[in-house]
Structure 1
């Protein structure tokens, strides 16, 4: 049985196991190991070797700047051992530097049966994972496929290829990967797509299903894993085994799929710092989440098992879950609080806009201005500022309308496919983006 496909590389389960075992003896249980390599097969084998040795692999993106990676690597290598954990991933970093999330192997494995029921996944499937290994989407499905005996299919490069589509039967990826697959026009064997990481446009779902691909979309977070699922286009409902509640517009979750928390770097014997720079000893960290060297950070939990990462939702209690973005990404402008995702959803109603990212620009009097970078549909000219203002005026209140407009033919994205909001913001401030009007 083939266990791994990547370009010309074909490894059986026995061959993959032998390669993993040859490296596993080099690792120590409980240690968190940073991994980054331009060859995905090499990086994956290294990650699985660390995991099988009882360590925690943290895979970086080979496209990251070397200096940037050196800083992350130092943070990982300075962390105290975390026995009992099995997987680590970086957050997307869409609004800043990524955090290092660690979890038990059981926290992922607990959701495997539900995913199999939703998708019909079996050992006979070839699971296509176009997102890079830095993505929790990909590493989750690598672990799942390996446990089930399904084949993992990794792209050789950072693009979808027709050759890959000739083998894949199941896709787990982002809406952008699904769009790329459809736009290749290539023949495929895909029967189902598990789509997360960003909002799925209903039109994209319809296009996929017209192409014979059943779409199961979901909302989750690297800290929470699966939270809600939409298997039929009727809207997000709680994922199997998950309870939801809304407090003051903030979503709280209770489930068996939570991560342990964020990896804490150490400053010396008995001391540590979490990702927000807060110092504390191992006793405090163990009390917080049950593992020395792991801290809650922005992932908050109460004594009754409920947790939140600050996601905002429509407070309506009936009907599907409607997400409104992350509370820590809100824009404060002229005494109003603007959630970027609210504005982005409205801008997609403007003819010719394929995607949009809304962000804050500093302003002396207002504090912050609402700005938007739009991506136009292929072959469409960028709209004028007057056209944008006119159409946005019919969709948004005055406080929520963008005051600065920028254009691109392709939005910058993080390794996990999310818009690189902080990168976009800095580029706008530094004058490195095309201004409209």
Structure 2
């Protein structure tokens, strides 16, 4: 199966039903209109002499035009390369050159960035040059080979240099099937998207379309307006990344909302602090679902809203709980210790085929058909996966292992602490020192010694931070992960003292 065939089938099933709606431009496309618009994108790429198999970079915010270019590339045999608009021009240039992209399509908001890239020799054109193309005579799009490359997704993780994840039509179709079966959307259900569509969110949006649902493109996320949008458009499903959910709770509070049509908010709870998850549950009630995956293996586990409710009614903590493997996915724990904790390995057809032009790194990540996630976890007796942190983040101090998440929860339990990140620094005597970067909420004056005493009352002595650094804000990625290289750079002066 391939992306082109799936989109064509959707147009046959629901030709006159609304598929995409963009309130900001008052534009709506039915499934048939969407399919014809994708034909027009392919014809525009032909006129621009962008050959089948060529890479096309996308630099734009979430919009209807973005989706037309994104899906249009894949449906017409080109490779989408979605870029993060928050990157600096030199970082974007490095990715575009690494991908060998023959064309970059940009929206008006990023015209200045595109001009910088054009001056560096990159062919750049407005997104509208393909998204507003008028379809010529109707034609049947050829099906793509399942093994043809469909997407290059650049990901930098939290410390390393950016690298591109390769997804072929076959792996993306497996992802789509997993989402459709896990989410359980019905024909006509509305999904509100307020997330950036890079690197992989556009695929989750496509899965909703392939369920016969309608997607409303709500523009840039606004915490105060999000709940109003849910009601106005009679939304059944939506999804937020951790940074958005935290903003929502800060801007609106956690008072319950009345949303009769709403079924589920998908969140990546493995990256959420427990109090944020609790706040989301108070706000939306039994309508929180949890997904687990990564760009290399999207949507590998899912904890539905009903399953989450069952866990909570049993009085259990849902922190780190991400449910069971979805339809075509598999999970196992490698080198489990006496408590069943080890590295999480992911299997299934949804896995990437490797990293673009990085054979050695690909071989290390894909071990006999299993993806090494780099996450620590264990599988509970009921088959549900519990994510406990990152393998490489484990701190080895004095011959003992310290899980940063445990120390972070202790720090966050202090009423004056707003955010915290625990990490190890080299130490001649101990191997590594347990250190913490802490953001205070400003409600009281706190010293490092006071926070250490707070931790000492709850944790074993070897887990108590030996050094605490105060910082105004932790540098986090869009998905809520602390970017350790930026954190260390921000703390450089304190670390050297």
Could you state the TM-score of these two structures normalised by the residue count of structure 2? 0.70
Find the aligned partners of 1:325 and 1:6 in 2 and give their Cα distance: 39
2:245 to 178, 201, 208: 178
2:334 to 247, 258, 265: 247
Partner of 1:281: none
Deviations 1:406-426 (A, max 9, x none): 344543221333222321122
Find the aligned partners of 2:209 and 2:348 in 1 and give their Cα distance: 23
1:152 to 212, 215, 221: 215
Shift of 1:182: 4.0
1:414 to 477, 488, 496: 477
1:372 to 426, 436, 442: 436
| Larger CA Rg, structure 1 vs 2 | 2
Quick one: structure 1 residues 401 and 34, their matched pair in 2 at CA, closer, same or farther if it must change by over 3 Å? Answer: farther
Find the aligned partners of 1:124 and 1:22 in 2 and give their Cα distance: 26
Bigger shift: residues 366-375 or 386-395: 366-375
Shift of 1:101: 0.8
Find the aligned partners of 1:144 and 1:188 in 2 and give their Cα distance: 27
Find the aligned partners of 1:202 and 1:393 in 2 and give their Cα distance: 21
Q: Is the 8 Å Cα contact of residues 177 and 207 (structure 2) preserved in structure 1?
A: no
Shift of 1:192: 0.8
Partner of 1:388: 451
Look up the SS of the partner of 1:356 in the other structure. Answer: strand
Partner of 1:321: 385
Partner of 1:216: 289
Partner of 2:408: 344
Find the aligned partners of 2:395 and 2:474 in 1 and give their Cα distance: 20
Q: Which consecutive residues of structure 2, in runs of 5 or more, have no partner in the other structure?
A: 1-17, 103-145, 312-320, 336-341
Q: Is the 8 Å Cα contact of residues 262 and 297 (structure 1) preserved in structure 2?
A: no
Whether 1:105 aligns to 2:105 is no
Q: Is the 8 Å Cα contact of residues 102 and 261 (structure 1) preserved in structure 2?
A: yes
Q: Is the 8 Å Cα contact of residues 290 and 302 (structure 2) preserved in structure 1?
A: yes
Q: Which consecutive residues of structure 1, in runs of 5 or more, have no partner in the other structure?
A: 265-272, 279-294
Shift of 1:3: 0.7
Bigger shift: residues 52-61 or 185-194: 185-194
Find the aligned partners of 2:270 and 2:246 in 1 and give their Cα distance: 13
Look up the SS of the partner of 1:93 in the other structure. Answer: coil
Question: Which runs of structure 2 are paired with 1:91-130 in the superposition (5 Å)?
Answer: 91=155, 93-112=157-176, 114-116=178-180, 118-130=182-194
Q: Is the 8 Å Cα contact of residues 135 and 416 (structure 1) preserved in structure 2?
A: no
Shift of 1:385: 1.3
Find the aligned partners of 2:25 and 2:224 in 1 and give their Cα distance: 13
Q: Is the 8 Å Cα contact of residues 350 and 392 (structure 1) preserved in structure 2?
A: no
Q: Is the 8 Å Cα contact of residues 397 and 433 (structure 2) preserved in structure 1?
A: yes
Determine which structure has the larger helix proportion and give its number: 2
Find the aligned partners of 1:354 and 1:48 in 2 and give their Cα distance: 40
Find the aligned partners of 1:334 and 1:258 in 2 and give their Cα distance: 38
Deviations 1:263-284 (A, max 9, x none): 11xxxxxxxx44xxx5xxxxxx
Question: Which runs of structure 2 are paired with 1:49-198 in the superposition (5 Å)?
Answer: 49-77=72-100, 84-91=148-155, 93-112=157-176, 114-116=178-180, 118-136=182-200, 138-157=201-220, 159-160=222-223, 162=225, 164-165=229-230, 166-167=232-233, 168-185=235-252, 189=259, 190-196=262-268, 198=270
Look up the SS of the partner of 1:72 in the other structure. Answer: helix
Find the aligned partners of 1:118 and 1:428 in 2 and give their Cα distance: 42
Quick one: structure 1 residues 319 and 141, their matched pair in 2 at CA, closer, same or farther if it must change by over 3 Å? Answer: closer
Shift of 1:142: 2.1
Find the aligned partners of 2:73 and 2:269 in 1 and give their Cα distance: 26
Deviations 1:112-152 (A, max 9, x none): 4554454442232332333322242x122122123233233
Could you state the TM-score of these two structures normalised by the residue count of structure 1? 0.78
Q: Is the 8 Å Cα contact of residues 153 and 164 (structure 2) preserved in structure 1?
A: yes
Partner of 1:308: 372
Find the aligned partners of 2:80 and 2:375 in 1 and give their Cα distance: 27
Q: Is the 8 Å Cα contact of residues 30 and 83 (structure 1) preserved in structure 2?
A: no
Find the aligned partners of 2:164 and 2:389 in 1 and give their Cα distance: 21
Q: Is the 8 Å Cα contact of residues 340 and 359 (structure 1) preserved in structure 2?
A: yes
Deviations 1:187-230 (A, max 9, x none): 67443111116434454444434434501112222212233333
Q: Is the 8 Å Cα contact of residues 243 and 255 (structure 1) preserved in structure 2?
A: yes
Look up the SS of the partner of 1:176 in the other structure. Answer: helix
In the comparison of the two structures, how many residue pairs are matched? Answer: 401
Deviations 1:300-333 (A, max 9, x none): 221xx43322322248767643323232344455
1:33 to 56, 63, 67: 56
Shift of 1:50: 1.5
